[in-house]
Amino acid sequence: MDTASNQIVDTIEAFAGPLLADMGIELVEVQFRREGHGWVLRFFIDKEQGVNLDDCATVSREISAYLEVEDVIDHAYHLEVSSPGAERPLKKEKDFVRFAEKKARVKMREPVGDQKVFTGILQGVEQGSVILDQDGQKILLDISKISKARLTL
């Protein structure tokens, strides 16, 4: 993502995060990128009991109204709002706690030992490290050094 796209995402997240939190919905991720049919602004939302079509429609209306008034994006784009799906990204410490006992794939910025990618069962977080059970072995992964993490099937 280029600098302008990052700036747009940051501006939108700053508005949308608190708005959705007030609605009982978590903003998981915002993406803004050029795809085959043009620019796409994509919101991934979630809540404890899962999101439904009505949640997506409500969020879409709220975000559309904000974007129309604030004129954050100065060219055509498509707005999409959806659930993050079964392989949702894990971005915040609370995600690793919430999804304890679920299978996850964690990619580190730098190797831990001789490995950069770990797959196992999340065991929570302790003192800034994600605890992952990989084939019966407990592995501690420094949250600040995680490049990407997501639930996996």
Structural domains in the chain plus CATH codes: 3-82 (3.30.300.70), 93-151 (2.30.30.100)
Query: What's the Cα-to-Cα distance from 118 to each of 42, 114, 122, 129, 148, rounded to whole Å?
Result: 28, 11, 11, 14, 11
Query: What's the Cα-to-Cα distance from 55 to each of 27, 46, 60, rounded to whole Å?
Result: 12, 9, 8
Ranges assigned E (strand) in the chain: 26-35, 38-46, 78-82, 103-112, 115-126, 129-134, 137-142, 146-151
List of residues 6+ apart from 129 with CB closer than 8 A: 140, 141, 142, 143
pTM over 0.85: no
* pLDDT range class, residue 61, cuts 50, 70, 90: very high
Which pLDDT does position 119 carry in this prediction?
A: 94
Q: Which of 97, 118, 152, 151 is nearest to 140 (CA)?
A: 118
Predicted confidence (pLDDT) per residue in 38-58, tens digit: 899 999 999 888 889 999 999
Which pLDDT does position 117 carry in this prediction?
A: 94
